[in-house]
Amino acid sequence: MSETQARVGAPSGAPHELRLPREMMTAIDAQEMTRIAGKSCKRLTNRVRGLIALAVSALIFMPVLSWAQAQVGQSTGLPIPRYVSLKSDRVNLREGPSKDHRTSWVFQRAGLPVEITAEFDNWRRIRDAEGTEGWVLQSLLSGKRTALVAPWKRGDVFPIFAKPIEGASVAAKLQSGVQGGIRKCDGTWCRISGDGYDGFIQQSVLWGVYPGDKFD
C-alpha cells in the first residue's frame, strides 16, 4: 500500500467514519440553533404572559382589597359607616378632629341617631339625617340603637304593629320624624319603642338602620 493510500484509507477492521460537507454541517447547526431558540422564546413568552396575567390580576383585585380595608375604622376596627346615637343632650359638632377646630353646630337631642363616616384617634366624623356633618368626641356617642321614622316624608303617619307581619293589629301610629329606640331588627321589621308605644315597624321607613340589617 502506498503512503497516499494509507492516508486516505481507513485502517483494516476500523469502522468507517461518515463525514458531511462543511456547508451541510453549517445548515444543520443553524436549524438546531433555530429550534432551540424557538423553544427558549416560547418559554420566555409563556413566562411573560404569566407575569402580565399576574399584574392584571393585581390591578383588578387591589382596588377591591383597598375598598374592603377602607370599610373598617382605623381606631376601632368596626365597620364604616355605622349607626350610633348621641349620648348627651348637648354635643358640639366641630369642623375637624380636635378642640382647636371651630364648632359648626350644637346637637341638643340625646338619643338622636347619627351615622359614623370616619374615625381619627378618639374623634368620629358623624352625619345626621339632614346631612349635617362634622367631628365629635367618641365619648359623646353611644352604641344604643335609635332611629327616626321616615324623616324624608314630613307630615306622613306610619303605623306600628303588634306583630312583625302584614295585617297584624295596629299598636300605634307615629308621625314622620319621631325618634324611638330600636330593640331589634330582622332585616324587614324592627321593634321600636318610646313614650307610650311599643311595636313593630317596617325597616325601610327608618333612618338609623340599614336595609337588611339584623340585630337583637
Tell me: the pLDDT tens digits for 26-78? 544 555 555 655 555 455 455 546 555 545 444 444 443 333 344 999 999 99
What ranges do the domains of the chain cover?
A: 23-70, 82-144, 147-215
Name the residue type at position 94.
Answer: R
Q: What CATH number does the domain located at 82-144 have?
A: 2.30.30.40
Q: What CATH number does the domain located at 147-215 have? A: 2.30.30.40
Question: Can you say whether the dihedral through the CA atoms of 74, 97, 128, 110 is positive or negative?
Answer: positive
- Quote the percentage of the chain above a pLDDT of 70: 68
- pLDDT below 70 — which residues of the chain? 1-70
Contacts of 25 (CB under 8 A, 6+ apart): none
Q: How many CA atoms lie within 13 A of 42 on its CB side?
A: 6
Nearest-angstrom CA–CA distance, 130 and 148: 11
Intrachain domains 82-144 and 147-215 with the same fold = yes
Q: What is the pLDDT of residue 12?
A: 44
Backbone angles phi, psi at 161, to 5 degrees: -115, 160
- Rounded to the nearest integer, the mean pLDDT of the chain is 81
Tell me the CA distances in angstroms from 36 to 23, 29, 31, 183, one per residue in order.
Answer: 20, 11, 9, 74
pLDDT of residue 96: 98
pTM over 0.75: no
Contact 134, 115 (CB under 8 A): no
